[in-house]
């Protein structure tokens, strides 16, 4: 028998799905305990409360391993993650004895660790804490802030990490050769395909466009065996020695790539002691191979400051209806784990699905 004032029973799983429709930023909250041990956890339950006085709040599961440390902390810091820090978010969401191992940090107020390269930092003194069902709510008085406007924030919604974009094209289009809404739509479609490929093939997948400085990664989707902890959006790859770069070198108008091509050829000649004619001949053979196979390939590649172990990679172009290469989709894996054959299952799946995307867009290539 129910009473008149009985509240309806809400299924926790359905509630989580419903609340997931509200897209948020992603933070890592950090603190130090009384013994000087560092603690951190990923949280999107962060909100502003008041501007005067400056107050913010966040919440944490009572069952979380670091909950006692945060409950007794005098200070905490909100590290608002940037779009290239998906791996950082995933790292701090997992249990670990030392979550800060391998994570570059600096020291903030009260010795609180601040994670490098975040979009913003909000350093707080603990003002109060409150019970909130299966969560604890922490109210902080803001002591110091830091904000880097040119770093896009990482977002989270519907159970997925997202990259934020302005509602209109703004300055994004001319800088990245996306001169029309149609081409921006191609990139959005390719973003979804990158997610699917990473999930279905269990390979690291990158999505790149041609930027002011060359092939520029705008999206990464990691596999169960990440190739590097230094993958980030905005990463500019070599034109002639990366699979991604070779796609643009093979399909963009030569005038677009000429300056960068000459710079990289000059460096390569010095390193390999080849004549200009021989180096140019080698390049033309490589680009012809890319066009012949419909994709590029590198074997055992090492990109300075990105990966230390050699990787194999394949990259394919995505064309719009005018036949312009709008973006490149690249799959990669450690050389001892990912086959380098042109007809390997991963390479063929990448080529087929990117080709279907180009056809769906209206490309005749």
User: What is the tens place of the pLDDT at every residue in 281-329?
Assistant: 889 999 999 999 999 999 998 766 665 678 999 999 999 888 889 899 9
HSE (side-chain half, CA atoms, 13 Å) at 62: 8
> Domain spanning 12-147: which superfamily?
Electron Transport, Fmn-binding Protein; Chain A (2.30.110.10)
Predicted pLDDT of residue 268: 72
Nearest residue to 317 via CA among 276, 361, 282: 361
Residue 365: partners with Cβ closer than 8 Å, 6 or more residues away:
319, 323, 358
Residue 180, both tokens: 């029309």
pTM of the model: 0.53
SS3 state at 3: coil
- Whether the pLDDT of residue 178 is over 50: the answer is no
Provide the b/e sequence for 159-170 (b: ≥16 CB within 10 Å).
eebbbebeeebe
Residue 197's pLDDT band (cuts 50, 70, 90): very high
Predicted pLDDT of residue 149: 84
The answer to whether 92 and 111 have CB atoms below 8 angstroms apart is: no
82 - beta bridge partners? 153
Looking at the structure, give the CATH architecture of the domain made up of residues 169-361.
2-Layer Sandwich (3.30)
The answer to whether 86 and 222 have CB atoms below 8 angstroms apart is: yes
- The predicted-structure confidence for 326-351, as pLDDT tens digits, reads as follows 899 999 999 989 999 999 999 999 99
- The predicted-structure confidence for 84-106, as pLDDT tens digits, reads as follows 899 899 999 998 888 999 899 99
- Whether the pLDDT of residue 357 is over 50: the answer is yes
Predicted pLDDT of residue 97: 85
Domains of the chain, residue spans? 12-147, 169-361
SS3 state at 49: strand
Question: For 13-39, what is the mean pLDDT?
Answer: 88
Q: Which stretches of the chain are DSSP H helices?
A: 12-19, 67-72, 86-93, 172-175, 181-201, 243-251, 254-272, 276-293, 345-361
């Amino acid at each position: 028998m129910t009473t008149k004032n009985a509240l309806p029973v809400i299924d926790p799983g359905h509630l989580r799905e419903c609340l997931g429709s509200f897209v948020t930023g992603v933070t890592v909250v950090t603190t130090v305990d009384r013994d000087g041990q560092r603690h951190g956890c990923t949280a999107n339950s962060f909100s502003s409360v008041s501007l005067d006085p400056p107050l913010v709040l966040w919440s944490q599961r009572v069952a979380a391993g670091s909950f006692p440390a945060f409950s007794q902390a005098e200070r905490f810091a909100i590290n608002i993650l940037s779009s290239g820090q998906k791996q950082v978010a995933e790292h701090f969401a997992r249990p670990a004895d030392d979550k800060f191992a391998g994570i570059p940090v600096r020291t903030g107020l009260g010795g609180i660790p601040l994670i490098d390269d975040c979009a913003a930092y909000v350093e707080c003194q603990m003002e109060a804490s409150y019970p909130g069902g299966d969560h604890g709510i922490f109210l902080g008085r803001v002591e110091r802030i830091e904000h880097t406007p040119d770093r896009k924030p990482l977002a989270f919604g519907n159970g997925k990490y997202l990259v934020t974009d302005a509602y209109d094209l703004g300055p994004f289009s001319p800088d990245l050769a996306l001169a029309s809404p149609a081409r921006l739509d191609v990139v959005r479609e390719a973003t979804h395909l990158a997610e699917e490929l990473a999930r279905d093939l269990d390979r690291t997948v990158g999505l790149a466009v041609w930027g002011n400085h060359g092939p520029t990664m705008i999206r990464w989707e990691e596999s169960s065996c990440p190739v590097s902890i230094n993958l980030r959006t905005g990463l500019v790859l070599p034109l002639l020695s990366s699979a991604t770069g070779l796609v643009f070198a093979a399909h963009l108008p030569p005038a677009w790539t000429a300056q960068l091509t000459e710079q990289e050829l000059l460096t390569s000649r010095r390193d390999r002691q080849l004549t200009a004619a021989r180096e140019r001949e080698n390049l033309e053979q490589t680009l012809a191979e890319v066009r012949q196979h419909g994709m590029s390939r590198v074997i055992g590649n090492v990109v300075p400051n990105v990966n230390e172990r050699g990787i194999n990679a394949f990259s394919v172009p995505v064309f719009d209806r005018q036949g312009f290469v709008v973006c490149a989709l690249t799959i990669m894996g450690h050389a001892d784990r990912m086959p380098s054959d042109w007809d390997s299952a991963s390479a063929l799946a990448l080529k087929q699905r990117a080709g279907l995307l180009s056809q769906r867009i209206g490309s005749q290539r």
